[in-house]
Amino acid sequence: MFRANLTACADAVQDHLNAQLNGYGDTPVVQAMRYTLQGGKRMRAFLVMESARLFDVPHDRSIWPATGIEAIHAYSLVHDDLPCMDDDDLRRGRPTLHKKWDEATAVLAGDALQTFGYELTLSPKTGDAEVRAHLALALAQAAGAQGMVLGQALDIAAETATAPLTLDEITELQQGKTGALISYSARAGAIMAKADDRPLADYARAVGLAFQIADDILDIEGDPEKAGKRLNKDEAAGKATFVSLLGMDTAKHRAKSLIQDACDAISQYGPKAENLRDLANFVISRDS
Amino acid sequence: MFRANLTACADAVQDHLNAQLNGYGDTPVVQAMRYTLQGGKRMRAFLVMESARLFDVPHDRSIWPATGIEAIHAYSLVHDDLPCMDDDDLRRGRPTLHKKWDEATAVLAGDALQTFGYELTLSPKTGDAEVRAHLALALAQAAGAQGMVLGQALDIAAETATAPLTLDEITELQQGKTGALISYSARAGAIMAKADDRPLADYARAVGLAFQIADDILDIEGDPEKAGKRLNKDEAAGKATFVSLLGMDTAKHRAKSLIQDACDAISQYGPKAENLRDLANFVISRDS
């Protein structure tokens, strides 16, 4: 049931992104934006739409910030894959953008995807001005130099550091690099409903950390074909990960206990939060 | 008098940007953001603050979107200078960001500067939620794949095109690459005051085009030391420019007549618009 719900959300997100990119013309940059916006689990969009559903915010409002966060996520992947960053050739089983086009197109398409994320989020169809301004500001705070980009900067710094990162440092890195957007996505529904977003922030903190631990586990135990990307990167680069620091068994145990924390944080929402509980469990059981 | 006003605005913008970047920590990415946000004429910020003054919007509100647009402009310069784009070593008389740091830091700092631009614009101190949501959406529309990035994409495409661009194509390119942000900046005051932004849009269209024509003239007649950047780039690359298409005399005449159009468009604002008229004249008389 959960898999079907996630797929239905991904399909709705894809349709909406395609429709919104129509009328943007057909320059190579827009073609590259379309290419990048194909596929993916759409976990962040699902978080937006499911947290919105807790407060009865309708689908045709929440689809706007849901697609907005996917555009922001897509921009970060495109720039992260660049030769001067992670230098990856493969993403979701397909050539990365700078391999299929070129670096200039990848820089520009990433830039335009970030802008597109704000444009979607700020659509008048998202809600009243208070909701739109609040969402967009929360998104900027999550994406910027105190959120996602901070995490990426710490990640780059770690590559040339003399000592491997400690558990605290890896946790800070993760909270920026993947945690900040996950937190924004989970809080988005409460922001749209002008409700208290703290329970969802607690949920997201645990899910985000579990997600990163699961990623580190997948990097070692995963199947590259299913993952659609290069694996064993961190191990090969001698980078500290949750697995290298905690050991595989403790890492798996820690991920499970975080999922319990996440489910506890949203217990007040009852049966309506079932999809969010299922998502938390999915995060540590996925194979890609 | 005008020069003093422009300098006073630039100083206020610099102080505000420095103050807002405090507390962002001191990672290389934030150091690079600070470096990039030093200097510049601050013409876009001046447009925001002077258009706001027409409607008696106070300085301590307009400084937020004024610094926001300068952050967006700065991001576009950082990414434009990258080796895979224009590959420039010098900007405002100093090494470009990827020369002083490295490409990864330049990509990330540019990304974070774009985010920072939205964060500043969406500050609760800018105005009520309606104003902030309207401004940020207008900014995204101006900066994205139908605005500035479209212009940059057309510029890249022109480099590999078999025939030089026509006057219409160069005008479209300019309206995206520099015109869209200039238009947003000039309209920002009216948006903040919830007033009709059409006279300022007309003003900006003429000023933006005159600005690009003046840039093309400077690229040939300018002093590289005063300009603080490489000149004769377009001529060396065999690119069509307003000067190559119109001839130098006609280009200068056209720029002057556009400035008259710009001043006519804002005649209704009387003496309050004196700085905007002066700015229009400055655009075609500057030496950098």
Q: Residue B265 is inside which H or E element, if any?
A: helix B248-265
CATH of B2-285, one of 3.40.640.10, 3.40.430.10, 3.20.10.10, 1.10.600.10: 1.10.600.10
Considering only residues 80 to 109 of chain A, which have any Cβ-Cβ distance to chain B shorter than 8 Å?
Answer: 82, 84-85, 102-105, 107-108
State whether residue A79 sits within 8 Å of chain B by CB: yes
* Domain boundaries defined on chain A: 2-285
Give the amino acid at B212.
Q
Nearest CA in chain B to A107: B79
Q: What's the pLDDT band for A26 if we cut at 50, 70, 90?
A: confident
Tens-place pLDDT, residues A111-157: 999 999 999 999 999 999 999 999 999 999 999 989 999 999 888 88
Looking at beta carbons, which residues of chain A come within 8 Å of B122? 133, 136-137, 140
Q: ipTM of this complex > 0.90?
A: yes
Tens-place pLDDT, residues B21-30: 998 888 889 9
From B29, B76, B129, residue closest to A129, measured CB to CB: B129
* Contact status, residue B39 vs residue B13, Cβ threshold 8 Å: no
Q: Residue A270 is inside which H or E element, if any?
A: none
Give the amino acid at A157.
A
Single pTM value for the model: 0.94
| Test the B interface: residue of A115, A155, A181 with most B CBs within 10 Å | A115
Q: How far is A195 from chain B (nearest CA, A)?
A: 17
Higher pLDDT, B181 or B154: B181
* Contact status, residue B230 vs residue B219, Cβ threshold 8 Å: no
Looking at beta carbons, which residues of chain A come within 8 Å of B132? 129, 133, 137
Looking at beta carbons, which residues of chain B come within 8 Å of A139? 118
Can you read off the two tokens belonging to residue B186? 């000039």
CB contact under 8 A, B111 and A79: yes
Tens-place pLDDT, residues A150-191: 999 888 888 878 888 999 999 999 999 999 999 999 999 999
From A76, A79, A122, residue closest to B137, measured CB to CB: A122
State whether residue A158 sits within 8 Å of chain B by CB: no
Cα angle for residues B217, B38, B55 (degrees, 5° grid): 75
